[in-house]
């Protein structure tokens, strides 16, 4: 019988911290948990409840709403594709539908150590660790060969939307520009300049609760003085997909009604 063709994005990352003497036993315990996962039904329901609570909160979370809107606009995949971006409502339905049997099947059909990576940093004896890893994980073969699921670039229709969330004392603006580029492609000599521009324009998240910390930001002072709004954060990030020509530049900013913000202090 031909093996089924499976496609999924599964990231299983685990960390531990221990002493030199306890490291072999700790690694053996981690390997046991990975290989012999039992997925207790009670734990599944607790986790389901936590996840659903977080998803419900996203319905009125400004950053989550604008992020979802942009991500779904850029989504070019069908719902059965691992790269598909589901809405919050779809995610809630999917989480509610998960059964313990589904987790057991995924563990059996997809997980293994054939393509795993391990990094150990600190005081340890490699000669003592290697036999433990070989004994505990050496025979845990992945049922299927690993193949990277590529990111692709496609043109999408631009949007300019406003999402109204009642009784919110703040506002969030987000923008996204899809890029046909990658960091190691000589056909895109402008990429280094794009990285520097991203850094010069703000780089990662910058919090500006206190205007005096960034007195050079003119738009922040205008919001603060003329419109009685208190800027609290802005961000500019550049994402690239390594060896795949599908990147994006994201920009975001948030402001809060200064009077209502001060009332809460």
Statement to judge: residues 27 and 137 lie in one domain: yes
Is the residue at 204 inside a domain?
A: yes
List of long-range contacts for 89-93, beta carbons under 8 Å, 24+ apart: 91/55, 92/52, 92/55, 92/56
| 79 and 11 within one domain | yes
In the block, which residue shows the tokens 């580029």? 181
The pLDDT profile of the chain, 265 residues, written as one tens digit per residue, is: 333 334 444 456 788 999 999 999 999 999 999 999 999 999 999 999 999 999 999 999 988 999 999 999 988 889 999 889 999 999 999 999 999 999 999 999 989 999 888 899 999 999 999 999 999 999 999 998 888 887 778 888 899 999 998 888 788 888 888 877 665 565 667 777 777 777 776 654 333 333 333 333 333 433 344 444 444 555 556 666 556 667 777 777 777 665 554 555 5
pLDDT in tens, 144-203: 888 888 777 888 889 999 999 888 878 888 888 887 766 556 566 777 777 777 777 665
Q: What is the helix (H) or strand (E) element at residue 244, kind and residue range?
A: strand 244-257
CATH number reported for the structural domain that contains residue 93 in this entry: 3.30.830.10
Among 150, 180, 205, the domain boundary falls at 150
Q: Which one of 83, 115, 150 terminates a domain? A: 150
121 & 178 share domain? no
Which DSSP category does 213 fall into? G
The reply to whether 1 and 45 lie within a common domain is yes
Q: What is the domain count for the chain?
A: 2
Instruction: Note whether 264 and 192 are same-domain residues.
Output: yes
**Domain, as residue range, for 74:** 1-150
Asked whether residue 161 is domain-assigned, the answer is no
Question: At which of 117, 150, 183 does a domain end?
Answer: 150
């Amino acid at each position: 019988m031909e093996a089924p063709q499976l496609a999924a994005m599964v990231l299983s990352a685990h960390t531990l911290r221990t002493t030199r003497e306890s490291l072999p036993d700790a690694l053996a315990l981690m390997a046991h948990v990975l290989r012999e996962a039992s997925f207790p039904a009670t734990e599944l329901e607790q986790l389901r409840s936590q996840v659903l609570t977080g998803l419900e909160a996203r319905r009125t979370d400004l950053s989550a709403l604008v992020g979802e809107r942009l991500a779904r606009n850029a989504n070019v995949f069908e719902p059965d594709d691992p790269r598909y971006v589901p809405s919050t409502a779809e995610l809630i339905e999917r989480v509610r539908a998960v059964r313990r049997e589904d987790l057991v099947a995924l563990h059996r059909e997809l997980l293994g150590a054939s393509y795993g990576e391990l990094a150990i940093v600190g005081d340890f004896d490699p000669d003592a660790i290697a036999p433990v890893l070989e004994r505990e994980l050496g025979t845990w073969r992945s049922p299927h060969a690993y193949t990277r699921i590529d990111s692709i670039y496609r043109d999408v229709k631009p949007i300019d939307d406003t999402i109204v969330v009642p009784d919110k004392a703040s506002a969030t603006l987000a923008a996204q520009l899809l890029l046909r580029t990658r960091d190691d492609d000589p056909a895109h000599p402008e990429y280094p300049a794009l990285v520097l521009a991203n850094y010069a324009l703000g780089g990662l998240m910058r919090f500006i609760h206190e205007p005096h910390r960034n007195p050079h930001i003119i738009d922040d002072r205008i919001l603060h003085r003329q419109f009685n709004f208190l800027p609290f954060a802005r961000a500019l990030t550049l994402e690239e997909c390594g060896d795949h020509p599908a990147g994006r530049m994201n920009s975001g900013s948030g402001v809060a009604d200064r009077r209502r913000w001060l009332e809460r202090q």
